[in-house]
Amino acid sequence: MDAEQARTFLLTLPHVVETEQWGHNLVARIHWIAAERWTVFRTSEWQEELRAAHAIIMAKLPPKVREALALPPKELKRRVAERTAILAAKKKR
């Protein structure tokens, strides 16, 4: 596995996104795993470790966030839009 393969795999996990900040630099929101060499694990082992790290991070989310992420995509999108509108209205005051 290499960095691009890890990126591709991670993006298949639920609720994983990537963002670009400071120009075209991809940002890792949470440092899940650190290793000196990609050859330390086989691809299947990397995937297992990355899945386990993802599960740990998801389990640490506040209950309200976990509940929201468990919603069907359309419902989640509707709730996010509602919350965004509420926050925007508060900002205008």
Give me the domain span that covers residue 20. Answer: 1-60
- Same domain as 49, residue 24: yes
State the average pLDDT for the chain. Answer: 88
pLDDT in tens, 34-55: 788 899 999 999 999 999 989 9
15, 58 Cβ separation under 8 angstroms? yes
- Same domain as 49, residue 77: no
pTM, two decimals, is 0.73
Q: How far apart are alpha carbons 50 and 62 in whole angstroms?
A: 21
- Same domain as 70, residue 55: no
Give the chain's domain count: 2
13, 54 Cβ separation under 8 angstroms? yes
Give the pLDDT band of residue 33 (cuts 50, 70, 90): low
- Same domain as 39, residue 71: no
Q: Which of 6, 9, 16 is nearest to 69 (CA)?
A: 16
- Same domain as 69, residue 50: no
